[in-house]
Structure 1
Amino acid sequence: MFGSEKPTSGRWRTPPFDPRFPNQNQTRNCYQNFLDYHRCFKKMNLRGKSTQPCEYYFRVFHSLCPMSWVQRWTEQIRDETFAGKI
């Protein structure tokens, strides 16, 4: 299972600006960072390396995404029904 339940160390008021998502609506930014975190976590685990570099994505999606979305996506990953490619 992926580490979505891992507690964050420190909190951001807002994540840093990402030029890929310049608009006010940050829904795509939320989703992309969720995907990036899980891809990073999976890849680092497969290589037997520390998942510390993935912490950035974790903090960003936790700052941007409603927790109900994160919980639903995490359940879908666990149930293997998630639509995104991880």
Structure 2
Amino acid sequence: MAEDIKTKIKTYQTSFFDRHFPNQNQTRNCWPNYLDFHHCENTMTAKGGDVSVSKWYGHVDKSFCTISWVSAWDDR
């Protein structure tokens, strides 16, 4: 499973269409993906799993969020 995720990360071009956010403005999609990334990372760390599985959420998060937002949220 981890190998499949690693190949997806290497060939990652842009984020997928999320039916929860059907409009062109994807700004609201930023926060849920940011939370999903950190939730996945914390869960995998607690279970002793491979954290690289969460990297996909990080790529999607970075494609929607501005750097200033992410750095402000990380500081909190």
Bucket of the pairwise TM-score, normalised by the shorter protein: 0.7 to 0.9
User: Which position in structure 2 is the counterpart of 1:55?
Assistant: 55
- The within-5 A match list for 1:1-86 is 14-76=14-76
Shift of 1:14: 2.9
Shift of 1:24: 1.5
Secondary structure, in 3 states, of the residue corresponding to 1:33? helix
- Alignment gaps of 5+ in structure 2: 1-8
Higher helix residue share = 2
Shift of 1:42: 0.4
Structure 1 pair 42–30 and aligned structure 2 pair: CA distance change class (3 A): same
> Is the contact between residue 12 and residue 63 of structure 1 (CA under 8 Å) also seen in structure 2?
no
Give, in whole Å, the separation in 1 of the partners of 2:53 and 2:21: 21
- Alignment gaps of 5+ in structure 1: 1-8, 77-86
Aligned residue identity for 1:17 = F
Give, in whole Å, the separation in 2 of the partners of 1:11 and 1:30: 21
